[in-house]
Structure 1
Amino acid sequence: MMADDIGYENLSCYGSKVYQTPNIDRLAASGIRFNHAHSQPICTPSRVQIMTGIYNNRNYIKFGLLDPQAVTFGNVLRDAGYQTAIAGKWQLQGGFEGVANFGFDRHCLWQLTRRPSRYPNPGLEIDGEEKDFKNGEFGPDLISDYVCRYIDEKKDDDAPFLVYYPMLLPHWPFVPTPDHPDWDPEMWKDAINEPGGYKSQKYWDAFVRYTDKMVGKVIDQLESTGQRENTLIIWTGDNGTYTDIVSDFNGRPYRGGKGSPKDNGTHVGFIASWPAVIQPGQVSDALVDFSDVFPTLTDAAGVKAPDGLNGVSLMPVFKGSADDRDKGAIYCWYERDGVRDKASQHARDQQYKLYATGKFFDTVADPEEKADLATGGIPEELKAVHAKLKAALDPQVAITEAADPIQSAKRGSPEKKKKKDATKKSKPEAK
């Protein structure tokens, strides 16, 4: 499950006193909450990275597009015998035709390029059929209903399943939710396209609460169908909160940073729960970025991951052996429209961040990155961490500066393999 545009500062399990997220909190209490998880600064880069397990400098093309040759976790798990579904927001490949190509047999999706409403009286595509709802329905309810029906269908099925749930909420437009006194079931009933605007903070709290409600709905369905014990649930957000949202957090105003490579644009909640494997009530300081999701899923399923992924499986952390996981830094390449010579690049650990420009920051003491620690030379006590981050950053910068990796892949570079050769089937182990 991946919520849309929500930083960690909105979650009560991460310390928010303004917003209450009891279902996300109970997910965290039942498993492991990660303190140092970072997305990409905006949605498409995050979605490309989470689905492919590869850093964006190697396979990102432009906003709203996933390379048609990309191998996703959906492809690998489906090839290994998993039944697969995707439900929520789809803004990749310019249409719904790519969903099956990327490994998903079933779908219930809202499409950015079609642009009907996603919230009141929405337009969705459900298993290949476009449907416009005009009787006061709410998009997130319809999509979560689809997820819950799919889970129910699988309760007596021996085949394992994967559901990828990129949630609609809480991305703007911020409008009243069905449980809010201002809810209007007639809103946008006659609209062909989703109206612009609606970005004020008035209904943000309602959106956070409804996001949490949808999470609880899925957890409850897994529990009621007897599948919770052996189901791995991962919950996160695709990037920081929208920039018009300012919340009190840790005693200061905290503005959303969507679109920025600073902490408020990338620091997201990341929670994993799997009662059969993960001990409850854990908090981890392990580094996590979205490239780690793909190898984690294949590792959990007992399936061989493709070669060349940048991610590192979180299974050792899940099993209480964090020291066996080798990830001392994470890397970010960010340029919304894929313009390579304008991309921002950095490597970071839990505290320090080094940009390819040479700027160096303590993100704990200086989250707004105003004091460059490299000014006047690297302090002696920071030379070791600077060297570590530089060692992680330099090889990625070299890849970025090389010939366009997308074109290299299409010419047959070994960096990309054809889907039919990318996986080796193994016996599935987990739902």
Structure 2
Amino acid sequence: MIHRLCFILAFVVCTQLHAAAPNVVVMLADDSGWGDYSIHGNTNLKTPNIDSLAQSGARFDRFFVCALCAPTRGEFLTGRYHSRGGVKGVSTGLERLNTDEKTIADSFLASGYATGAFGKWHNGSQWPYHPNARGFQEYVGYTAGHWGEYFDPPLEHNGKMFRAKGFIVDVLVGKAMEFIETNREKPFFCYIPLTTPHSPFSVPDEHWDKFKDSPVTMRGVEGEKEDLAVSRTVLAMMDNIDLNVGRVLKKLDDLKLSENTIVVYFSDNGPNSVRWNDGMKGKKGVTDEGGVRSALFMRWPDKIKKDTLITPIAGAIDLLPTLTSLAGVKLVSTKPLDGWDFSNLLLGGEWKRGPRELMNYNGGKLSVRSQTYRLDANGVLFDMVADPNQTNDVTAAQPQIAAELTVKATAWHQEVFGKPYVPAPAGGKGKGKSKGKNPGAEPFADDRPYPVGYVEFPVTMLPARDGIPHGEVKRSSGAPNCSYFVNWMTKEDGMTWDIEVHTAGKYEVSIDYACPEADAGATVELSFDGAKTTGKVTPGWYPPLLDNQDRASRKGESYMRDFHSLPLGTIKLPAKRGLLTLRALEIPGQTVMEVRRLTLTLKTN
């Protein structure tokens, strides 16, 4: 009888603890600038649902992220500067977060939370870089940094591709809402890395119709460089995001979960075009204020007071320690954090931390932000209180402050990279991409191979982004993230992937391809360390490019087509590192095929 009572008591206590644990929903916009919200004074649009998070909770006055997408994601996931975790850029493997880093999802999962991510991952595609290996039990989205199809997009669900129906943001938010409803009886951590307003500039009619004739009265500081078609599309895309934020908030209300759910909203870098951003200098890709300042809104009814304004400078590195502290979740990482815990301040307590400096690093350029000053990548000092738009160099007027921040920048760079920082010359953006007339053809600045073959995750996708074209083969666009291999015409042409096979065994091979019917019939060979498999490129399959989705011109993404899967037999791979090579043995037509991705599936029985 006593044992029974003890069991019941333990069950009740456990249930109460689970009931008390707050849910967490984190929404991350892609390429949205600080100025893209009506709460920040932009009268070109209205964002009532997003604004409501700040009005009913907290707004961070000076919140800083990275200049590009993947680095910010790495800092949010780990609470550490992205360069410590191996994130060096945004494509061709540079975007990957080292596998010895533990993520915020790892901590929540270890504390009994259901975890899910729905959207653009951008920190590695293959296991163990994949989101399912980084603490997320459920994943729907795409792991690359660009995606060329926003309507009826091909997406991934836990390692398997499917083609969705509808606009990509609507689809992904819908999947997140299904996750929330499925896990409504237990605490959940739901990460929604939205895919817009990142290009391509596509948006449904219901949002475009509101802005297609907009005069865009509030303009960017470089007004003559502003593309109004892009600005109107971004306004429509933000309108769509606001609608979807409203869908999530309504779902929480309908399930009676709002009171015990922390909702977070921020963006990954500055605006991706010249548009209104309150006069701040810089946009995406640069480490000036406009390139790295983001909105951050956080709501937790009855815990975070309405209209709370957080004034100490904060950054993406602070979200992990803050959210785990608010939720009472124990960290599983033993590595030192760069981020600070803001939970006490959010809950109405006294701020007891002293002054700090935040480092904004991108492509060899380092800028340092204190509460009052910014030392830019060229070593120029600005008073950000008196001159928030960085128009007046105060280096000569404040030599001691300039010297102190320079010392801090040098020390940080020495610690992280093992060498002192040398201020960059003016000009240039350094986006961490491969340079040259054929991007990706030269050796990568990253020696990490692409892992293949884990029993717990047998499917390995190797997109064209991660391969190297040889001969006359080219990428379909300058942005490797959203590209496929084209111009494969001779036996000297081909492509390779630098892989490391984890599990020796037999692998089924398939290629996502397109080939004009008149050129069908080429014989291709896939080889690795003496192992080979061959097959014919048949049938012909060459649907038209999906070039009718955009409201403004594309800048870097390829126009895509509906690639089909070509089975290429089975290959027996040894457990080692080497080059996986795809080449043609016979070419009866003018071309071999276009290649979107290669997929290897470990046969486990």
User: Normalised by the shorter chain, which TM-score bucket?
Assistant: 0.7 to 0.9
Aligned to 1:263: 289
- 5+ residue gaps, structure 2, are 1-26, 211-226, 421-447, 449-605
CA distance in 2, matches of 1:228, 1:91: 29
Structure 2 CA distance for aligned equivalents of residues 113 and 176 of structure 1: 18
Superposed, which structure 2 residues align to 1:10-409 within 5 Å?
Answer: 10-59=36-85, 60-63=87-90, 64-95=95-126, 98-112=130-144, 115=147, 117=149, 119-133=150-164, 137-157=166-186, 160-180=187-207, 200-243=230-273, 245-247=274-276, 250=278, 257-305=283-331, 306=333, 307-326=335-354, 328-335=356-363, 343-355=364-376, 358-367=379-388, 369-375=390-396, 378=398, 383=400, 386=402, 389=405, 392-402=408-418
Alpha-carbon distance in structure 2 between the residues aligned to 1:313 and 1:181: 40
Q: Kindly indicate whether the alpha-carbon contact (under 8 Å) linking 2:58 and 2:309 is maintained by their aligned counterparts in 1.
A: yes
**Alignment partner, residue 424 of structure 1:** none
Query: What residue identity is the alignment partner of 1:125?
Result: E
1:169 shift after superposition: 1.6
- Distance of aligned partners of 1:112 and 1:171 in 2 relative to their CA distance in 1, 3 Å threshold: same
Q: Which amino acid aligns with 1:12?
A: S
Q: Is the 8 A contact 2:374 2:384 kept in 1?
A: yes
Q: Match of 1:71, SS?
A: coil
Distance 1:264 1:24, change over 3 A: same
The answer (yes or no) to whether the contact 1:82–1:161 under 8 Å persists in 2 is yes
Alpha-carbon offset, residue 387 of structure 1: 6.5
How far 1:2 sits from its partner (Å)? 0.6
Which SS does the other structure have where 1:169 is aligned?
strand
Preserved CA contact (<8 Å) 2:106 2:136: yes
CA 310–23 in structure 1, closer or farther in 2 if over 3 Å, else same = same
How far off its partner does 1:12 sit? 1.2
Q: Following TM superposition, by how much is the alpha carbon of 1:75 offset from its aligned partner in structure 2, in angstroms?
A: 1.1
1:351 deviates by 3.1
Query: What's 1:420 paired with?
Result: none
Tell me how far apart the structure 1 counterparts of residues 296 and 358 of structure 2 sit (CA, whole Å): 15
Deviation of the 1:378 alpha carbon? 2.6
Cα deviation, 1:17-36, whole Å, max 9, x if unaligned, reads: 22211001111111000110
Q: Which stretch has the larger CA shift, 103-112 or 308-317? A: 103-112
Secondary structure of the corresponding residue to residue 165 of structure 1: strand
Structure ID, larger Rg: 2
Kept in 2, the 8 Å contact 1:4–1:170? The answer is: yes
Aligned amino acid, residue 150 of structure 1: F
Amino acid at match of 2:259: E
CA distance in 1 between counterparts of 2:345 and 2:258 reads 20
Structure 1 residues 112 and 17: alpha-carbon distance in aligned structure 2, compared to 1, 3 A threshold: same
Task: Assess, with a 3 A threshold, how the Cα gap between structure 1 residues 205 and 181 changes in structure 2: closer, same or farther.
Answer: closer
3-state SS, counterpart of residue 61 of structure 1:
coil
Report the 3-state secondary structure (helix = DSSP H, G, I; strand = E; otherwise coil) of the residue aligned with 2:196. coil
Paired with 1:111 and 1:81, the residues of 2 have a C-alpha distance of 25
Displacement of 1:92 in angstroms is: 2.0
Would the aligned equivalents of 1:316 and 1:324 in 2 still touch at CA under 8 Å?
A: no
Letter in structure 2 aligned against 1:330: L
TM-score (structure 2 length as normaliser): 0.57
- Aligned with 2:194: secondary structure? coil
Q: 1:4 touches 1:169 (CA, 8 Å); kept in 2?
A: yes
The CA deviation at 1:319 is: 1.2
In structure 1, distance between residues paired with 2:330 and 2:162: 38
Return the offset for 1:172.
1.2
Deviations, residues 155-178 of structure 1 (Å, cap 9, x unaligned): 223xx2101111112111112324
In structure 2, what is the Cα distance between the partners aligned to 1:263 and 1:292? 18
Closer, same or farther in 2 for the Cα pair 1:304/1:165, shift >3 Å?
same
1:218 offset after TM fit, Å?
0.8
Could you say what secondary structure the match of 1:86 adopts? strand
Paired positions, count:
371
Q: CA deviation at 1:364?
A: 4.3
Give 1:370 shift: 4.5
Q: CA RMSD in A?
A: 2.7
Secondary structure of the residue aligned to 1:293 is: helix
Contact kept? 1:174, 1:199, Cα under 8 Å = no
CA contact (8 A) 2:69 2:145 kept: no
The 8 Å contact of residues 96 and 111 in structure 1, kept in 2 or not, is answered as no
Q: Is the CA contact 1:286–1:322 (under 8 Å) kept in the aligned structure 2?
A: no
Name which of structure 1's ranges 53-62 and 256-265 shifts more when overlaid on structure 2: 53-62
* CA 1:178–1:96: 2 relative to 1, 3 Å: farther
Which has more helix, going by share of residues? 1
- State the Cα distance separating 1:333 from its structure 2 match: 2.1
Asked if 1 retains the 8 angstrom alpha-carbon contact of 2:355 and 2:371, the reply is no
> Once the two structures are aligned, what percentage of the paired residues are identical?
27
Letter in 2 for 1:288: A
Report the TM-score when normalising by structure 1: 0.79
Amino acid at match of 1:110: Y
For residue 357 of structure 1, report the CA deviation from its aligned partner: 5.2
